Amino acid sequence: MASSSLNTVHTAYDSKVEGNMILTRVDAAINWMRKNSLWPMPMGLACCAIELMATASSRFDISRFGMEVMRFSPRQADVLIVSGTVTYKMALAVKRIWDQMPEPKWCVAMGACASSGGMYRSYAVLQGIDRLIPVDVYISGCPPRPEALIEGLLALQKKIEGEESTMAQKKAYFEGKAKA
Amino acid sequence: MSSATDVTRLREAFGGKILETVEFRGEQTVRVELGSLHDVLAQCRNDHGYAMVLDVASVDHFGEEPRFEIVYEIASVDDAKRLRVKAKVAEGEAVASATDLWAGADWHEREVWDMMGIAFANHPNLKRILMWEGYPFFPLRKDFPLAGRPSEMPDVAFSGVAPLEGGPFVTCAGGENTVVREPRARVVE
């Protein structure tokens, strides 16, 4: 019996063989694993970092979404949460940390300052971290409430869900073959 | 002993090198020649008990000569006396550092150097404190635009121009009407 799971990106049980077999596509399985174990790299630069800490602790608790493993080494993280004002003096340090993170990786610009420079229209502040590194999710707020950060991270999960993790590689492989 | 009597004693000791003394609501301010600034500060610390430097500030009187003014805020610990010592500084002139009197003046003087570009002679470690070493401008000078200027040091740092349009960040005091007081953007050449 054909499972309806073939038509969706979600994995699902077939009721006849429940517990024994899961039908899915490789891409969907990989995305499912990735999105449910995001390891954030907290880039706490200003007051947004306080909200980020609140988000991680018991009241809001992002471990409900599998994101509680904050790593203070970029080599063990896959989501860079830029929370706070990025000054020019700090900008290249943020870039360096981003460069040290292994692929696949995502970036969240948390709050007005990280997204656009915020109220700091000044000689000292980078006008948005997206001038330096690619941003996947922008979260408005000054600072955003923990709920807003959680919604942003859920949006990131949704984005990861739709990614073609192996398709792109496959395509590149076959196109390379066709040329050769 | 109050700071008013200290001002009188400074006047007796330095005479014409004290250019001006001002009392405003109990605050004592002494304006001295730049050349005798360090001597005045030394006497304040050694003879009058001003054991602490609270702040070192600088003012840019853009368009006047001499252009800058350096302000030392000093205080005594035991009887809470406060005294403000000022001196005018021309562009390119160096101020004798007060770090030999108060170790606490070190970072304050570095900040003055970083932001305003007033150099200090005999400072043990005169380098930038907020901006990075090699940044070509002094951002708190009046002729430096708030939006900043582009600068580039490959692999070290860079800076750009911030957009000021539409922000509440460009008001200038004293204009006749709101159109003058709050322009959409202010361009400084």
User: Quick one: B120 and B50 in the same domain?
Assistant: yes
Taking the C-alpha atoms of residue A125 and residue A119, their distance in angstroms, rounded to an integer, is 10
User: Quick one: B152 and B123 in the same domain?
Assistant: no
Structure tokens at A83: 């929370």
Contact B162 A123 (CB under 8 A): yes
Q: Closest approach of chain B CAs to the CA of A91, in angstroms?
A: 8
Supply the range of the domain harboring residue B108: 3-136
Q: What is the ipTM of this complex?
A: 0.74
Q: Which pLDDT value is given to residue A60?
A: 92
Q: Which pLDDT value is given to residue A26?
A: 86
pLDDT tens for each residue of B72-105: 999 998 888 999 999 999 998 999 999 999 999 9
The number of distinct structural domains making up chain A is 1
The number of distinct structural domains making up chain B is 2
Question: CA torsion, points B84, B89, B94, B100, in degrees to nearest 10?
Answer: -10
Contact B160 A126 (CB under 8 A): yes
Q: Which residue has the tokens 């460009």?
A: B170
Q: Which residues of A touch B144 (CB under 8 A)?
A: 123
- The reply to whether A71 falls in a domain is yes
User: Quick one: B95 and B184 in the same domain?
Assistant: no
Taking the C-alpha atoms of residue B101 and residue B46, their distance in angstroms, rounded to an integer, is 9
Q: Which of A123, A126, A130 to mutate to test the interface with B (most CBs of B within 10 A)?
A: A123
Would the pTM count as exceeding 0.90? no
**Pick from A88, A122, A131: CB nearest B157:** A88
pLDDT tens for each residue of B142-181: 888 878 888 888 877 888 888 776 555 566 677 788 777 7
Which residue intervals of chain A are DSSP H helices?
26-35, 48-56, 88-100, 111-116, 146-161, 167-179
